């Protein structure tokens, strides 16, 4: 299979990043071309008590619209959504965004597992989960749920990550379809062609 | 050939075993959702608590936690216990709803209420405030402090409503663990507090007990945004991080209640990532303070 030209039926890409995750996330988002079709939903662990600057920070470096998620918002294609600080971000089956202030999961709110598990339910096989640098094991259970529902899993190579524990935990628990350094993941992602006929 | 009587010969099937530590819960999927809908119907029919229009994605997770808590491998097993053991239903309320609250949470909101909304409310002879979905009451007490410091509490009444009797009990008692107070104090000051939060409570046995004089202006009451109607005209509704737990239909109902309850030009404050934009009432309100999510009835 020529993976650079791989055709995946992907509607959404969910990304989890924690310690050391800002840089690889930037590499991924910067590389995406205008007109990129799948929606992107991102959990980056940030301190709860600070106003989020993530949407502004990454928006300046990304050709796609970047927003902080608003409750009940319809998930638009080719748009990057960040989980707001101190809220879990989820997707409903009707593909609208949902927020919650349920208890932190493994000390994290937003939690990568919470996003990934809801995306597995909402998108089934049409979702790709990506786990990047981090120092805990958030995302491992979520990635397992994504794979169990037929979705894909890509993981930053632990030795390529500033904090390799989170990608390593994800690989150990869920396995992965692709484990590569961030530059290679970014290239694959940018060239991702979807075989999906999008409903607008 | 002798007739075999099925009733006599059939072996009874083994009863489902209670959940053991390490057992897998029912997987997510179509059956889980089907059984969850049946559970919500059952709860509504038996206890008149209507969670049928709660946002599903986060509810699924909380129901899973409840299944672990009550030793049920499937939602149907949980339903059996909820319907036949009222004390299990009472314990379920904390899973159907989310009980997290803090005093002066999102200080910018309380600062905006103090600096931008209260001066307008102060022109009214009497002010009624509705804290809808007040949970354990932290926001209602916070607003009472704001109104007190702005000299308005003496002619104010705050309705603090919730569906959870246990949470309302906590709210009414006004007793919070002392180890939470440092965080509350920081937020109080960031929200423009004019004194010290310590002016409003006495510490005893690792608890902070809030001042009865504030409580005289708060009416705690059972009220459901899903099934009850408007009970009073109010000038300010504060309903923050409650609408996120509702689906769009129920959210529309709740906002409709707020609209009906609000006096002309009354204020509605919602959570920092909540919006009226996706509701049928979007045009019935104007954005008064966009960043702090305070709307004003047209």
Q: What is the pLDDT of residues B220-264, one digit of tens each?
A: 999 999 999 999 999 999 999 999 999 999 999 999 999 999 999
Scanning B70-206, the segments in alpha helix (DSSP H) are 75-84, 86-96, 107-112, 118-121, 138-149, 165-173, 181-190
**Number of domains within chain A:** 1
List, in sequence order, every beta strand (DSSP E) within chain B.
127-132, 156-162, 175-177, 201-204, 207-210, 218-222, 234-239, 262-270, 285-289, 294-297
Q: Please, what is the angle between helix B86-96 and helix B165-173, to 10°?
A: 70
- B55 has a chain A CB within 8 A of its CB: yes
Share of chain B above pLDDT 70, in %: 96
Mean pLDDT, range B278-287, rounded to an integer: 95
Residue A2, pLDDT above cutoff 50: no
What's A119's domain CATH number? 3.40.50.180
Q: Give the rounded percent of residues in chain A with a pLDDT score beyond 70.
A: 90
Q: Regarding beta strands A97-100 and A152-156, do their DSSP bridges make them parallel or antiparallel, or are they unpaired?
A: unpaired
Work out whether strand A152-156 and strand A178-180 pair parallel, antiparallel, or are unpaired.
Answer: parallel
Say how far apart CA A63 and CA A52 lie, in whole Å.
Answer: 20
- The answer to whether B88 touches B82, Cβ cutoff 8 Å, is yes
Instruction: Quote the domain boundaries for residue A135.
Output: 3-194
Burial class for B132, CB neighbours closer than 10 Å (0-12, 13-18, 19+): buried
Q: State the pLDDT confidence band at A5, using cuts at 50, 70 and 90.
A: very low
3-state DSSP assignment of residue B56:
helix
Which residue in the list A39, A111, A113, A138 is annotated as catalytic?
Answer: A138
Q: Would you mind telling me the total number of residues written for chain B in this entry?
A: 298
- Find out whether A127 and A154 touch, Cβ atoms under 8 Å: no
Contact by Cβ (8 Å): B128, B235: yes
In angstroms, rounded to a whole number, what is the distance separating the alpha carbons of residues B55 and A71?
11
Q: Over 70: is that where the pLDDT of A194 sits?
A: no
Q: Order of strands across the sheet with B285-289?
A: B218-222, B156-162, B127-132, B234-239, B262-270, B294-297, B285-289
Residue A121 belongs to a domain: yes
A72 vs A96: CA distance, rounded Å = 6
Q: Which chain B residue lies closest to A123 (C-alpha atoms)? A: B29
Segment holding A7, helix H or strand E: strand A7-8
Q: Is residue A200 part of a domain?
A: no
Q: Is residue A58 part of a domain?
A: yes
- pLDDT tens for B19-36 read 777 777 888 877 999 999
Nearest to B114 by CA among B220, B242, B269: B269
Q: Is residue A140 part of a domain?
A: yes
Q: Which residues of B touch A103 (CB under 8 A)?
A: 100
> Mind listing the pLDDT tens digit for each residue in B68-92?
999 999 999 999 999 999 999 999 9
Q: What is the pLDDT of residues A73-94, one digit of tens each?
A: 999 999 999 999 999 999 999 9
A positions 67-96 inside 8 Å of B (CB): 68-73, 84, 87-88, 90-93, 96
Q: What is the ipTM of this complex?
A: 0.89
Exposed / middle / buried, residue A180 (Cβ in 10 Å: 0-12, 13-18, 19+): middle
How many CB pairs (< 8 A) connect A and B?
70
B98 pLDDT exceeds 90? Answer: no
CATH architecture of B107-297: 3-Layer(aba) Sandwich (3.40)
If pLDDT is split at 50, 70 and 90, which confidence band does A46 have? confident
The residue of A99, A117, A120, A124 whose CB has the most chain B CBs within 10 angstroms, and thus the best one to mutate to test that interface, is A99
Q: Note whether B68 contacts A: Cβ–Cβ < 8 A.
A: no
pLDDT at B26: 83
Q: What is the mean pLDDT of chain B?
A: 93
Counting other chains too, the contacts that A105-109 makes at CB distance below 8 Å and 24 or more residues apart are A105/A138, A106/A136, A106/A137, A106/A138, A107/A136, A108/A18, A108/A45, A108/A136, A108/A138, A109/A48
What integer pLDDT is reported at residue B5 of this predicted model? 56
d(CA A44, CA B60): 23
pLDDT tens, residue by residue, A11-44: 999 999 999 999 999 999 999 999 999 999 999 9
Mean pLDDT over all residues of chain A? Answer: 91
A117 within 8 A of A143, measured Cβ to Cβ: no
Contact A68 B273 (CB under 8 A): yes
**Residues 6 or more apart whose Cβ sits within 8 Å of residue B45:** none
Examine the residue annotation and report whether A138 is marked as an active-site residue of this protein.
yes
Q: How much is the pLDDT for A200?
A: 33
- DSSP 8-state class, residue B179: G
CB B97 within 8 A of CB B164: yes
Q: How confident is the model at residue A113 (pLDDT cuts 50, 70, 90)?
A: very high
Q: What is the pLDDT of residue A199?
A: 38
> Cα distance from A104 to chain B (closest Cα, Å)?
11
CB contact under 8 A, B57 and A148: no
User: Is A9 labeled as catalytic in the residue annotation?
Assistant: no
Percent of chain B surpassing pLDDT 90: 87
Does residue A195 surpass a pLDDT of 70?
no
pLDDT band at B100 (very low <50, low <70, confident <90, very high): confident
Domain boundaries, chain B: 6-96, 107-297
Window 99-128 of A, Cβ < 8 Å to B: 99-103, 114, 117-118, 120-122
pTM: 0.91
| Structural domain includes residue A199 | no
The arithmetic mean of pLDDT across residues B263-273, rounded, is 96
**Is there a contact between A100 and B98 if contact means CB atoms under 8 Å apart?**
yes
B189: confidence class by pLDDT, cuts 50, 70, 90 = very high
């Amino acid at each position: 299979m020529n993976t650079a030209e791989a055709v995946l039926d992907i509607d959404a890409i969910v990304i989890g990043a924690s310690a050391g995750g800002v840089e690889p996330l930037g590499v991924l988002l910067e590389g995406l071309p205008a007109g990129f079709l799948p929606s992107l939903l991102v959990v980056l662990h940030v301190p709860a008590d600070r106003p989020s600057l993530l949407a502004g920070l990454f928006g300046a470096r990304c050709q796609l619209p970047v927003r902080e998620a608003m409750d009940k918002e319809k998930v638009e294609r080719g748009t990057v959504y960040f989980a707001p600080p101190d809220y879990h971000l989820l997707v409903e089956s009707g593909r609208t965004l949902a927020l919650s202030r349920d208890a932190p999961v493994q000390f994290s709110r937003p939690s990568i597992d919470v996003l990934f598990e809801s995306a597995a339910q909402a998108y089934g096989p049409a979702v790709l989960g990506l786990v990047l640098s981090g120092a805990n094991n958030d995302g491992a259970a979520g990635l397992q749920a994504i794979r169990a529902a037929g979705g894909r899993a890509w993981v930053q190579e632990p030795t390529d990550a500033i904090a390799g524990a989170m990608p390593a935990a994800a690989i150990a628990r869920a396995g992965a379809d692709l484990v590569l350094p961030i530059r290679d993941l970014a290239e694959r992602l940018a060239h991702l062609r979807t075989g999906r006929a999008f409903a607008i | 050939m002798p007739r075999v009587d099925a009733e006599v010969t059939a072996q009874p099937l083994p009863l489902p075993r209670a959940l053991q530590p390490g057992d897998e819960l029912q997987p997510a999927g179509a059956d889980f959702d089907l059984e969850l809908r049946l559970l919500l119907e059952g709860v509504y029919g038996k206890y008149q608590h209507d969670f049928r229009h709660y946002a599903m994605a986060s509810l699924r997770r909380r129901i899973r936690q409840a299944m672990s808590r009550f030793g049920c491998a499937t939602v149907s097993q949980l339903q059996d216990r909820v319907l036949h053991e009222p004390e299990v239903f009472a314990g379920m309320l904390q899973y159907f709803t989310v009980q997290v609250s803090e005093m002066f949470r999102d200080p910018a909101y309380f600062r905006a209420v103090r600096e931008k909304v209260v001066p307008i409310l102060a022109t009214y002879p009497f002010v009624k405030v509705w804290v809808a979905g007040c949970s354990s009451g932290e926001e209602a007490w916070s607003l009472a402090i704001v109104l007190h410091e702005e000299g308005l509490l003496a002619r104010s009444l705050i309705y603090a409503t919730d569906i959870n009797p246990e949470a309302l009990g906590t709210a009414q008692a006004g007793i919070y663990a002392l180890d939470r107070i440092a965080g509350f104090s920081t937020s109080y000051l960031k929200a423009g507090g004019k004194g010290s939060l310590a002016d409003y409570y006495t510490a005893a046995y690792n608890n902070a007990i809030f001042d009865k004089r504030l409580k005289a202006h708060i009416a705690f009451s059972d009220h459901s945004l899903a099934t009850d109607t408007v009970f009073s005209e109010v000038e300010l509704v504060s309903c923050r991080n409650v609408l996120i737990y509702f689906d769009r239909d129920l959210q529309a109902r709740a906002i409709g209640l707020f609209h009906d309850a609000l006096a002309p030009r009354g204020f509605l404050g919602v959570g920092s990532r909540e919006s009226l934009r996706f509701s049928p009432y979007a045009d019935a309100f104007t954005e008064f303070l966009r960043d702090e999510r305070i709307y004003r009835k047209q």
